Amino acid sequence: MIKANSVTKVVNTSEGSLQILRPISFEVKSGESVAVIGASGSGKSTLLGLLAGLDQVSEGEIFLDNEALHNMDEEERAVLRGNKVGFIFQSFMLVQSLTALENVMLPAEIAGLDNPKALAIDILEQVGLKHRAHHFPNQLSGGEQQRVAIARAFITSPKILFADEPTGNLDAKNSEKIEALLFQMNREKGTTLVLVTHDNELAEHCDRQLTMNAGELVETTQSKSANKKEAV
């Protein structure tokens, strides 16, 4: 589903060019869940940005559902994102001036799906927030906002879901709930999940962990749970 070949990222700064990703190659299969872990500044979010087509690679190739992301311009990448990709962010990234319902409807409308409102209500019900549909983000708690974000991410039934520290802004109790919800929805929809996190426990829930250090992919490990799953 995702294929990265010798992907690098170099940025120009006032002190010259800086390589923030050294050549990275890996593959993620359809339906697989992968956690990208590593210390702050290790290049996790940069990698996520490149894989999701939010940023352009400096060198190398990225294929998303067999489509060559590295050859696309911003417009083509936007269309691809709209059709195949969902996102969840640490800071929720809800549009403050739209209600929960309207935030969830947004990707469906952009993708031109039929009856986005019904889809949104349905999925809000699945995340247990139907009763808060008409509230604005600043009227919701952090956990509720992230549930809205999850509903938004799944409304277009994306093939791939990218999550950037989805529990980073939440307390332990809410983190657990969100984790559970995220993986439950992921399983139900059969989505491929790429998740960036500091949280080893969260990473453990994924099939595989890619460990980053100073812009390099240093280790790939299979989760115990995944092994268990495989064993089962």
Partner 1 sequence: MSTSFSLAWRLFKHEARRGELTIILLAIVLSVAAVLSLSLFSERLQGALKSRSAAFIAADAQLRSDEPLDEEWLLKAQQEGLSTAKQVSTRSMVFNGDAMSLVDLRAVNNTYPLKGTVNITDEPFGEKRDTSELPQSGEAWVQSRLFQSLGLSIGDRIEIGDGNFTVTKVLVDIPDAGFSVFNTDPIALINLADLEKTAVTGPGSRARYVGFFAGDASDISNFNSWLLPKLNDDLHSWRTVEDDESAIGRSVASAERYFLLASLLAIVLAAVSIAVAAQRYAQRHFDPVAIMKTLGATSATIRKIYLYQILLITALGILIGLVIGFIGQQIVVSLVADKVDVSLDVWHWRPLVIAVATGATCALLFSLYPLLQLFSVPPLRVLRKDISTNLRSRGIQFAASGGAIFTLMWMYSQDLKISAILFVSGSTLVLGLLGATFGLIAVGRKLGSGKMGPWQLAWARIKRRAMDNSVQLISFSVTIMLLLVVLVMRNDMVSQWRSQLPEGTPNYFLINITPDIQPKLDRHFSDNGVKIEEFYPVIRGRFVSVNGEGVNTDVSKEDEPNREGRRGLGREANLTWSNTLQKENEVLEGEWHGDSDETFADGLFPVSVEEGVAERLNIQMGDRLTFNVGSEIVETKVTSLRKVNWQTMQPNFFFVIHPDAMAAFSPTYITSFYLPTERKAELTNLLKPFASITMFDVDARINQLREIVDQVSVAVEFILVLVLLAGSLVLIAQVQASMDERSQEIAILRTLGAKGRLIRKSVIFEFVIIGVVAGFMAAMANELSLYLLQTSVFQMQASLHPEYWVIAPAVGAVVVGILGAVGCWRLLKLNTSQMLRNMV
Contact assessment for residue 1 and residue 32, using Cβ atoms and an 8 Å cutoff: yes
Among residues 39, 68, 95, 218, the one that binds partner 1 under rule CB under 8 A = 95
Nearer to partner 1, 55 or 199 (CB): 55
The first and second tokens of residue 97, run together, are 């001036």
Quick check: 106 binds partner 1 (CB under 8 A)? yes
The answer to whether residue 48 forms part of the interface with partner 1 (CB under 8 A) is: yes
Which of residues 7, 102, 193, 211 is near partner 1 by CB under 8 A? 102
The minimum distance between CB 209 and partner 1, in angstroms, equals 20
Query: How many residues bind partner 1, per CB under 8 A?
Result: 38
Residue 75 is a binding residue for partner 1 (CB under 8 A): yes
Residues 118-147, interacting with partner 1 (CB under 8 A) = 136-138
36 vs 44, 116, 181, 210, CA distance in Å?
6, 32, 19, 5
Is 18 near partner 1 (CB under 8 A)?
Answer: no
| C-alpha to C-alpha distance for 88 and 146, rounded to whole angstroms | 8
Distances 114 to 83, 106, 109, 110, 160 between C-alpha atoms, Å = 14, 12, 8, 11, 21
Burial of 177 (C-beta count, 10 Å sphere; 0-12/13-18/19+): middle
Which pair of tokens denotes residue 167? 């529990």
Sites of contact with partner 1 (CB under 8 A): 45, 48-49, 52, 54-55, 74-75, 78-83, 85, 87, 89, 91-99, 102, 106-107, 109-112, 136-138, 152, 164
